Amino acid sequence: MNATSSFNEVAGFRVRLWRGESMCLLGFDVDDPEPDFVGFAVEYREPGGTEFVTLHNRLSFNPADPVSGDRTHPTTEAPLQTYRWVHFPWQPRPGLYTYRITKMHMPSDGQLVAGLQIELPIDLGPVTIDGFLDIGFARNFASSQAFEDKKVSLGLANEDLLPAEASQGLAFADRKAAIASRAENIYEWLGFEAAKLLFEFLDDAIADNAVTIDAMAYDLNEPDIVGRLEQLGSRLRIIIDDSAEHGERASAETKAAARLRRSAGTKNVHRGHFRNLQHNKVFIAHRNGVPHRVLGGSTNFSFRGLYIQANNMYVFTDTAIAGLFSDMFALAFTDMGGFAATDFAKVWHTVQHPNRPAVRLCFSPHSQPELSLAPVGGDIDQATSSVLYSFAFMNQTTSGAVRQALDRLMDKPLFSYGVVNKSGGMEIKKPGGETGLVDFAYLSKHAPEPFKSEWSGGKGINIHHKFVVIDFDKPTAKVYTGSSNFSPAGERNNGDHLIVIEDQRVAIAYAIEAIRVFDHLNFRNRMREAEGRRRNTTPRQPLLLQKPTAISNRPEPWFAKFYVPGSPRERDRKTFSRNDTN
């Protein structure tokens, strides 16, 4: 076991665990699957626990079993018929998790028999790089079976959780407080580590009178965030976007600005939008006037940003990195209109410390968007193993180094997964280059068995990430992320930041997040495609696990597609299970 993964092999059966942010990716492989091999059973033991808990599968073998979204089956009875799985602990605990993976077989009598078994530990501690960097993701489970289960257990309806309009967010404070006061706080669960990082950052600042905060907000309608900013009093300076609807009198951003002018002072609250948008989502903490921590990422300070969308957030504890953000804020606070013409906006800034990852940063707007985008496109082109990405608005971008590199990627024999938005839903780029369309609203009406109707999470997009991971399984791994939409128009006109972090532990965390989101959407996309084929032909059939060919009389076993030479599924199987990549 090392800081990023854990591996073992027994008689041609391999398992590799990969550390994510309070989640774990499990990769499996079998050299020569037996004809009666029917999948993998997975059990885990939590830190400090004594008993193993079995992961569950919503699918089963038995068509007579009335499977529904309300029922799950232990993988010891309904094995996973896939070669990787992301385990997202319901309530993660810091420390060492132990996983036990068992090959399951089904002889001709139809009874399951356990085969080879591998047991492996991995530390899923919540801090990414102690004393330097912590990454957090929002759960993005509002459109999921897990959320449906959680919501029912708490007696909540969809309309209970979010204001009907973004402009009503601050007035939703009492309703949110009433829901949050229940036995389990659904907002903490949905916001996950991103919300934890954000509120801890603000609470630490409030508690320390030597700390001042410089903030930059795009969406700002989450009442607990605004309430904490008010508690800082004159220790806060903030720039709030005033583009389009944000500048309207009735907007939450305008109301928040009025409140903060009263608490922080009029001179400490600015409105603006650079050439188009003030798109940063940033808090910079200064202690005794010295910048020492900074929070940034894709997560807006809003209900949707924290509790609905797939988003990422990071906190650097580093005076050099915080200092660069502080310089950016000072320039914008003084002369937002002139920011693009400054020397600061025309270069990449590098921070390198001994025994720390190299971090490079670029701040927009700048007149030459390829300044920031060309290195990203170049690294995508030069990837040797894998490219994993999640971009919120790439469908709206038809030019630029990043979009062009992604188009070229589809024709390369690399392992790649990606998700981008498309009008009305999500476009999924599969490893083979084919695309599919996922519409969240569709799921609420047409989810086939065994899945219940799922909530689309209200108005707006559900995937808001902005990142790309290059060669996560290599020592040279890196991730590009930030508030930037990676588009020429955005880099030319919006106030944003783009960061590259050259570190495998960080890259793996983002890679697992990309896989988690892709799998969630791709599975529902396949459900939709199946529904489309069946709509005017045969009745819907429940999704089932496949029995061995000797029993099912199917022409091929379930695992055959994973062993087609050169296929995307073969690359998938090998990428996550092998120990020869670093």
Residue with the two structure tokens 């981008």: 420
What is the token pair recorded at 389? 């990405």
Residue 204's pLDDT is 99
Helix ranges restricted to H, 383-419: 401-409
CA distance 455 to 443: 8
Question: 5-125+551-577 and 133-524: same fold?
Answer: no
pLDDT tens, per residue, the chain with 582 residues:
677 999 999 999 999 999 999 999 999 999 999 999 999 999 999 999 999 999 999 889 987 665 455 578 999 999 999 999 999 887 888 889 999 999 999 999 999 999 999 999 999 988 999 999 999 999 876 556 666 666 767 777 666 788 999 999 999 999 999 999 886 888 998 999 999 999 999 999 999 999 999 999 999 999 999 999 999 999 999 999 999 999 999 999 999 999 999 999 999 999 999 999 999 999 999 999 999 999 999 999 999 999 989 999 999 999 999 999 999 999 999 999 999 999 999 999 999 999 999 999 999 999 999 999 999 999 999 999 999 999 888 877 778 999 999 888 888 888 888 887 664 455 666 655 555 445 444 544 555 444 445 555 566 667 789 999 999 999 999 999 999 999 999 999 999 999 999 999 999 999 999 998 888 777 666 666 655 555 555 555 567 899 999 999 999 999 999 999 988 889 999 999 988 644
> Per-residue pLDDT tens for 94-122?
889 999 999 999 999 999 999 999 999 99
First to last CA, the chain: 13
Q: Domain spans of the chain?
A: 5-125+551-577, 133-524
CATH 3.30.870.10 matches 133-524? yes
- Secondary structure (H, E, C), 227-278: HHHHHCHHHEEEEEECCHHHHCCCCHHHHHHHHHHHHHCHHHEEEECCCCCE
What pLDDT score was predicted for residue 568?
A: 84
Per-residue pLDDT, 220:
99
Task: Decide which of 3.60.21.10, 3.40.50.1000, 2.30.140.10, 2.60.40.10 is the CATH code for 5-125+551-577.
Answer: 2.60.40.10
Instruction: Identify each DSSP E strand in 129-259 by its residue range.
Output: 133-137, 211-217, 236-241
The alpha carbons of the chain give a radius of gyration, in whole angstroms, of 24
Work out the number of other CB atoms within 10 angstroms of the CB of residue 338.
11
Cis-peptide, bond into residue 74, ω within 30° of zero = no
> Is-contact 389 377, C-beta < 8 A?
no
Exposure string for 225-247, b = 16+ CB within 10 A, e = fewer: bbebbbebeebbbbbbbbbeebb
**Kind of pairing, strands 236-241 and 269-272?**
parallel
Quick check: 102 and 41 in contact, CB under 8 A? Answer: yes
pLDDT tens by residue, 149-158: 667 677 776 6
